[in-house]
Structure 1
Amino acid sequence: MSLFASKTTTTTDKTPPSTPKRKSRVLHFRSKSDSSKTSPSPPTSPTTEVAVTQPSSPTKRTPLGIAEVANIFVRMRRASDKAKNNKSWHIQSSSGPAQSHPGVLEGASELREIVTHRDVYICNDGVNVGQLLRATRNALMEDAEFIGANALVDEQWDCTICGPRHRRSGSFKVEISYSAAATRSERADPHKPIAIDKAKGVPASQSILNTLDRIHLESTNRRHASVAYTPFVAYLSSKIVLSTIKSDKL
């Protein structure tokens, strides 16, 4: 019995290792394979913080008051009135190039002297440019007669009407410049302006309040006209001599 028992004991010593040890090895092997299959994670880039500015809310505008709105309308009214006064109440007209009355030019002498005249009229209510042109031409004709001439040729005039700031109650300032060549002619002077149909006025009843610059310009014209006085006197004396010779022959 002892021998059998010893044999059994020897056989029991040669048994393989227990199963728990194997399980531990298998588990350890699996853990290594799983770790090798996992891919390496990419390197993380440093995060940059971007400051985002939110749009500011629009500021609330305070509504305009009644006084401010009224002030704006008053300024607009003044600006429009000023523009109208600058454009509408400056009326300009001109005769154009120098012209002559046909009858006077045919019998006019070649000896001529340039005379000029400028008048400034202050008119109320309306402006009759034709009447003012006649008055200025009559003054120019007086200057021509002072130097011995009896007619005007190569006439030319310019007229500018400056309107009042307030149309309802105001006066007009009218500037007329008239120039011509004083000469002797066998035909009588018509005593009327040329190209009177081109005159632009203000339709209303005209009343002349004052006339400016006439006396000063008349004296200026007379001083310049004194230079041409001698040729006209010689011209007149030659006419008289010729007429006496003809009468003696008859």
Structure 2
Amino acid sequence: MVSQTFRNSSYSTSSASSDDSSPPSSPSKRTSLSDVASLFVKMRHLKERSRAHHIVSTSGDRPQTHAALQGAGTTAEQIDMELNDVYNCSGAVDTPKLLRASRAKLMQQAKYLNGNVLLDEHGVSWHCTIRGPKNQREREGKYRVHIRYAASASRSSRPDPQRPVALDQARCVPGLMTVLPSRA
């Protein structure tokens, strides 16, 4: 008997709410063009503020090749290659070590293509962006490092120097670097 009364009362409540089947009222204020424009301005300021935590370094504007590989001894056939690497580091960033690791990966790909040297003949050889912690008080911060390395694989009778060009241009974060495993 109690359950039947409960059903009747719940049925009557639901039937009362079914009479009010109009959609919810929409806000009366409409978005104007000036509101949208101010939103884009705010987004641009946030983007500029977030880039303040970035450290950017590059090998330069001109293409570069190691002095030992210039001139005779290299084949005219070249295969353009590009590598994009992301490293997660803690504590500091040693950019030359990360550039060497990226270049070694690119050299491994060149060996698969029957190349034994890397000639940096097109565009910027390497570009590195370090995204630091947004909280400057955090000394042991986590950094995300994006490295773009572009080179051409070729064959040469001379040995490859095994180091990136323009390492003096690399900017670092001082301290002890720990490379964290990337999330797969």
Fold match (TM-score > 0.5) = yes
Q: Kindly name which structure, 1 or 2, has the bigger radius of gyration based on alpha carbons.
A: 1
In structure 2, the partner of 1:102 is 67
- Cα pair distance change 1:85/1:128, threshold 3 Å: farther
Q: Cα distance 1:85–1:192, how it changes in 2: closer, same or farther (>3 A)?
A: same
Q: Secondary structure at the match of 2:64?
A: coil
- Cα separation, 1, equivalents of 2:183 and 2:81: 19
Match of 2:128 among 159, 168, 178: 159
Higher helix share: 1
Show structure 1 runs of 5+ residues with no match. Answer: 1-81, 214-250
| TM-score in terms of structure 1 length | 0.49
- In structure 1, C-alpha distance between the alignment counterparts of 2:142 and 2:158, rounded to whole Å: 40
Aligned runs of 1:25-64 on 2, under 5 Å?
none
- Cα separation, 2, equivalents of 1:170 and 1:120: 16
| Corresponding letter in the other structure for 2:177 | Q
Change (3 A) 1:160 1:154: same
**SS, match of residue 134 in structure 1:** helix
Instruction: Tell me if the contact between 1:119 and 1:212 (Cα under 8 Å) persists in the aligned partners.
Output: no
The equivalent of 2:170 in structure 1 is: 199
Aligned counterparts, 1:229-240, within 5 A: none
Cα separation, 2, equivalents of 1:144 and 1:192: 15
The match for 1:116 is 82
- Evaluate the alpha carbon distance shift between residue 186 and residue 153 of structure 1 in structure 2; reply closer, same or farther with a 3 A threshold: same
Q: Distance in 2 between matches of 1:191 and 1:207?
A: 23
| SS of 2:50 mapped into structure 1 | helix
Q: Does 2:86 align with 1:86?
A: no
Rounded Cα–Cα distance in structure 1 between residues aligned with 2:127 and 2:111: 23
1:144-179 deviation digits (Å, cap 9, x = unpaired): 000100000126000001111224153000000001
* Amino acid paired to 1:193: P
> Taking every aligned residue pair, what percent have the same amino acid on both sides?
37
The alpha-carbon deviation at position 84 of structure 1 amounts to 9.9
- Which gives a bigger RCO, structure 1 or 2 (Cα 8 Å, sep 6+)? 2
| Structure 1 residues 183-225: Cα deviation after superposition (integer angstroms, max 9, x where no partner) | 0011000110000000011111101002478xxxxxxxxxxxx
Distance change (3 Å), C-alpha of 1:108 and 1:204: same
- Secondary structure of the structure 2 residue equivalent to 1:166: coil
After TM superposition, the runs of 4+ consecutive aligned structure 1 residues lying more than 4 A away are 82-85
- 2:145 alignment counterpart: 174
State the one-letter code of the partner of 2:57: S
Tell me the C-alpha RMSD between the 2 structures. Answer: 2.1
Which residue identity does 1:166 align to in structure 2? N
For 1:123, the aligned partner's letter is: C
